[in-house]
Amino acid sequence: MELYQITLTCGACDAETKGVLSPHVRELQCANCGAPVAKIKPFEGVVYVMSNPNIPGFVKVGMTTKDVYERAKQLSQTGVPGSYQVDAVFPSHRPKNDEAKAHAKLARFKANKEHFSLSTAVAIVKVRSALGGREPAFIREIWRDEVAEMVEKNRVETLLKLGKAPAEEAS
């Protein structure tokens, strides 16, 4: 059972309040004035990006409503040499839907059901984009900079494209 202590400043009375949140205790009231100060909503599951150093150039994108690291372990026992590592994890309230969105975005890189032929960092950026720019809850350190750079580049390109439209209209 996961238990978290959370410390918050009450917006109503300014008192600092401490409480425990868990999948079973999802709301917290201020100990001083009783105002609601926190609410949690557990995610149904995750969409993940995984890779296996023994299958270079390919990534696996899928979803699970269970522990993503257990899933990686399972996949590593399916006769493929080496083990899968979790590269990025996106929290999801509708994992099946979000997985479908991610797979649609990656369709042209598809190698088989859940494997895609592209670099891990590009896959992470594309899944992020398929999920409307959702930030991953976890991303492996080695991908962080590359992903952040690509996201920024895409953002600037989108702005330039948007800026270009009125200029063309004017000419």
Least Å from the CB of residue 19 to Zn ion: 12
Would you give the end-to-end CA distance of the chain in angstroms?
64
DSSP category for residue 135: P
Among 29, 32, 76, 117, binds Zn ion (CB under 5 A): 32
Least Å from the CB of residue 5 to Zn ion: 18
Query: How many Cα atoms sit within 13 Å of 37 on the Cβ side?
Result: 24
Where does this chain touch Zn ion (CB under 5 A) — which range of 7-15, 111-119, 125-133, 159-167? 7-15
Least Å from the CB of residue 21 to Zn ion: 17
Q: With binding defined as CB under 5 A, does residue 31 bind Zn ion?
A: no
Among 3, 35, 40, 156, binds Zn ion (CB under 5 A): 35
154, two tokens: 């895409």
Q: With binding defined as CB under 5 A, does residue 12 bind Zn ion?
A: yes
Please say whether the beta carbons of 89 and 68 come within 8 A: yes
Q: Mapped to the 3 state alphabet, what secondary structure does 1-45 carry?
A: CCCEEEEEECCCCCCEEEEEECCCCCEEECCCCCCEEEECCCCCE
Which residues are paired to 16 by β-bridges?
Answer: 9
Distance CA 67, CA 46 (A): 9
Q: With binding defined as CB under 5 A, does residue 30 bind Zn ion?
A: yes
Query: 8 or 151, CB closer to Zn ion?
Result: 8
The contact pattern for Zn ion, residues 87-126, with x = CB under 5 A and - = no contact, is ----------------------------------------
Residues that bind Zn ion (CB under 5 A): 10, 12-13, 15, 30, 32-33, 35
